Chain A
Amino acid sequence: MRMAQLIANGIFDGSLYALLAVGFSVAFTATLFYDMSIAVAYVGGPYGLLFLMSVGVPPVPAVGISVVAVALIGAGTHAAIYRPMLRRGVPGLSLMLVSLAVYIVAENILGIATSDERTPIMLLGPIRQLRLGGVTFTVTQLVLVAVALASAGASAYLVRATRLGESLRAVCDDPELAEASGVDVSSLRLVAATWAWAAASISGICMAMVVDMRATMGLTALLVAIVSSLIVGPRRVMWVGFVAVAMGVLRHVAIWRVSSGWQEAVLFAVLLFYLVARSAPRDHYERSASA
């Protein structure tokens, strides 16, 4: 029964990761670089919400305003910083380092603004517990899982089955060819970045409702999203969501054998194992090719 509870907790965490990972994957499909600054949106969403509630805005409109504001900041960041670099064909590593710099600056500004304190968000009132079989969960968790999975599912559907998604996949395959075929690559990348920041802010808000938030929590969550995206690869956004849920479950099931403090180590061991395993076959192909 304890295992069922751990899996249920894992699905909850994993669905929030899935939303972040799907957003990240949409941006990665369009831009083909690891945008570390998306972690800012994951933290900026809940802090924006907290600020709006502190000045008297009711919770539901505050969530909407916060998500829209973060998405607009994401669009502005992309337009001002990354778009000129992408146009010049700057390599992925440089873009990744610039996005890391954006993350460092934003995280520290938030750190100063919040005095490095952990802050809870109480949005849904007193927590009501439900029991199904031997598994206990809260109404908050159910609502958040539904919101996260619906948002992730909608994102995945848009990429898979709409004209916008088709253009996105074309840009991923060959940006020059897509541009020559009439796709406005710059605008599409802007839309993808805005989308990713909005998804990350929703994910961050959902997570902040169940755990105390702090300015540094974005990087770990984003790394889980990157691992999921790396394992599946660009374009297959739906599968990125599933892998992220699996990562959440793995993180909790690990407690079966080790203490909860090791949860993140387990996730990063998976990342490391995957990267090492992925680099090995390339060597094999290289050897085969040279032979």
Chain B
Amino acid sequence: MTYLDYLAFSVGFYVLLAVSLSFPANLAGMMVVCQAAFCAIGAYTAGLLVPSLTHDGGWVLAASIPLGGIVGAGAGLLISRMRSEEVVLATLGVQMIASSLLLNSSITQGPMGIPKVVASSWLGFETQSDLIPTLVCVAMAGGAMALSVVGRRSRWTLSLHAMHDDPVLVETMGHSATSLKIQVMALSGAVAAAAGTLYALKITYIGPSAFTVTESIMLLTLVLLAGKYSTTGSAITATLFVLLPEALRFVGFESYVIAHVRQIVFGACLGVYVAARSRNARSHMVL
């Protein structure tokens, strides 16, 4: 894997994850802190399918997307009646349970993780090139971005905006807020699972340390920094999230310090952003 390939994949991967989280967080106002768990569903689906059932990356991706959607819909159903702070706590709980599962289950091979997740073909075409996951990831990230831009004035998106601002009004107008929440969480889970599958096929190893609560919190930070209703903003913050450590590497920081500095910078930005936005008189509307 060349440096540029790694960089392109990382940008695509984080943009895909950020866009997946921006659907519930930015469009519907649901602060979900279990995106890493959804991503893990896709990654472990690839880890379990590739050695035993199929070596085709396309089929693995096709299997993981509906699975992620189903789990996302389940999570959406669980949190559909909760208040905003309870959604944060409940999804933190889901993330912690998922982390325990990845660490302790024999199916996921515990802390050892699953090695050699290599796809030898894509939709029937034999290829061992590790550029394919990068290309698919960048294409999916671009596609998700394009869809969110094209569909931003759609009836469904506007219903989500309305639910963000006033859920009672949405119910009064005949929309089911519960149904909207389940739909947006299913979409979010499906896209995050796709990102996870591509991660597994690119890195060819998956372990529980890649899908921790810290990752979920950082993703939420990226998405919140993008601002309300903005999926394109999420893509920009995700790109900065990948490029910042690369800049720090040239400054000469050690690798473990770089990871911490990145989180400090984005954590501080989140705090300043939310505090500054809440100066607005209509502060309940800003998130």
Knowing A94-B278, A97-B270, A226-B89 are in contact, say whether A265-B84 is a contact too (CB < 8 A): no
Knowing A96-B85, A115-B256 are in contact, say whether A90-B92 is a contact too (CB < 8 A): no
| Segment touching B, from A43-51, A135-143, A192-200, A272-280 | A272-280
Q: Does B88 contact A (CB under 8 A)?
A: yes
Knowing A94-B283, A108-B263, A116-B256 are in contact, say whether A268-B93 is a contact too (CB < 8 A): yes
Knowing A97-B224, A98-B271, A112-B260 are in contact, say whether A223-B88 is a contact too (CB < 8 A): no
List residues of chain B with CB within 8 A of the CB of A282. 81
Asked if residues B274 and A97 are in contact (CB atoms below 8 Å), the reply is: yes
Asked if residues B84 and A93 are in contact (CB atoms below 8 Å), the reply is: yes
Asked if residues B90 and A259 are in contact (CB atoms below 8 Å), the reply is: no
Chain A 239-271 interface mask (CB, 8 Å, partner B; 1/0) = 000000000000000000001011011001101
Complex Cα–Cα for A259 and B81 (A): 33
Q: Does B284 contact A (CB under 8 A)?
A: yes
List residues of chain B with CB within 8 A of the CB of A72. none
Knowing A101-B267, A104-B217, A265-B96 are in contact, say whether A34-B85 is a contact too (CB < 8 A): yes
Q: Which residue of B214, B267, B284 has the most chain A CB atoms within 10 A of its CB atom?
A: B267
**CB under 8 Å from chain A, chain B span 45-95:** 78, 81-82, 84-86, 88-90, 92-94
Q: Does B264 contact A (CB under 8 A)?
A: yes
List residues of chain B with CB within 8 A of the CB of A96. 85, 88
Q: Does B257 contact A (CB under 8 A)?
A: yes
Complex Cα–Cα for A234 and B284 (A): 23
Q: Does A58 contact B (CB under 8 A)?
A: no
List residues of chain B with CB within 8 A of the CB of A89. 283
Q: Does A81 contact B (CB under 8 A)?
A: yes
Q: How large is the interface on B (under 10, 10 to 19, 20 to 34, 35 or more residues)?
A: 35 or more
Q: Does A100 contact B (CB under 8 A)?
A: yes
List residues of chain B with CB within 8 A of the CB of A115. 256
| Segment touching A, from B6-14, B97-105, B144-152, B241-249 | B97-105
Q: Does B155 contact A (CB under 8 A)?
A: no
> In angstroms, how far is the closest chain A Cβ from the Cβ of B101?
7
Asked if residues B224 and A269 are in contact (CB atoms below 8 Å), the reply is: no
Q: In the complex, which of the residues B85, B104, B224 contacts A262, with contact meaning CB atoms closer than 8 Å?
A: B104
Knowing A85-B278, A223-B96, A275-B86 are in contact, say whether A112-B213 is a contact too (CB < 8 A): no
Q: Does B279 contact A (CB under 8 A)?
A: yes
Residue of A nearest to B98 (CB): A265
Asked if residues A91 and B284 are in contact (CB atoms below 8 Å), the reply is: yes
Asked if residues A92 and B263 are in contact (CB atoms below 8 Å), the reply is: no
Q: Does A232 contact B (CB under 8 A)?
A: no
Q: Does B221 contact A (CB under 8 A)?
A: yes
List residues of chain B with CB within 8 A of the CB of A276. 78, 90
List residues of chain B with CB within 8 A of the CB of A104. 217-218, 221, 263-264, 266-267, 270
Asked if residues A94 and B287 are in contact (CB atoms below 8 Å), the reply is: yes
> In angstroms, how far is the closest chain B Cβ from the Cβ of A53?
24
**CB under 8 Å from chain A, chain B span 107-146:** none
Q: Does A88 contact B (CB under 8 A)?
A: yes
List residues of chain A with CB within 8 A of the CB of B213. 219
Residue of A nearest to B264 (CB): A108
Q: Does A102 contact B (CB under 8 A)?
A: yes
> In angstroms, how far is the closest chain B Cβ from the Cβ of A98?
5
Asked if residues B31 and A93 are in contact (CB atoms below 8 Å), the reply is: yes
Knowing A93-B31, A108-B260 are in contact, say whether A279-B267 is a contact too (CB < 8 A): no
Knowing A91-B283, A100-B270, A259-B104 are in contact, say whether A34-B263 is a contact too (CB < 8 A): no
Q: In the complex, which of the residues B82, B97, B266, B284 contacts A268, with contact meaning CB atoms closer than 8 Å?
A: B97
List residues of chain A with CB within 8 A of the CB of B89. 34, 223, 226, 230, 271, 275
Asked if residues B85 and A92 are in contact (CB atoms below 8 Å), the reply is: yes
> In angstroms, how far is the closest chain B Cβ from the Cβ of A11?
23
Q: Does A57 contact B (CB under 8 A)?
A: no
List residues of chain B with CB within 8 A of the CB of A275. 82, 86, 89-90, 93
Complex Cα–Cα for A89 and B279 (A): 10
> In angstroms, how far is the closest chain B Cβ from the Cβ of A275?
5
Residue pairs across A and B with Cβ atoms less than 8 A apart, 30 shown, are A34-B85, A85-B275, A85-B278, A91-B284, A93-B84, A94-B287, A97-B224, A98-B271, A98-B274, A100-B270, A101-B268, A104-B218, A104-B221, A108-B261, A109-B264, A112-B256, A112-B257, A112-B261, A115-B256, A223-B96, A261-B103, A261-B104, A265-B100, A268-B97, A271-B89, A272-B90, A272-B94, A272-B97, A278-B86, A279-B82
10 pairs of A and B residues whose beta carbons are closest in the complex = A104-B267, A101-B271, A265-B100, A261-B104, A279-B81, A108-B260, A268-B93, A101-B270, A268-B96, A90-B278
Identify the B interface with A (CB < 8 A): 31, 78, 81-82, 84-86, 88-90, 92-94, 96-97, 100-101, 103-104, 213-214, 217-218, 221, 224, 256-257, 260-261, 263-264, 266-268, 270-271, 274-275, 277-279, 283-284, 286-287
Identify the A interface with B (CB < 8 A): 33-34, 81, 85, 88-94, 96-98, 100-105, 108-109, 111-112, 115-116, 216, 219-220, 223, 226, 230, 259, 261-262, 264-265, 268-269, 271-272, 275-276, 278-280, 282-283
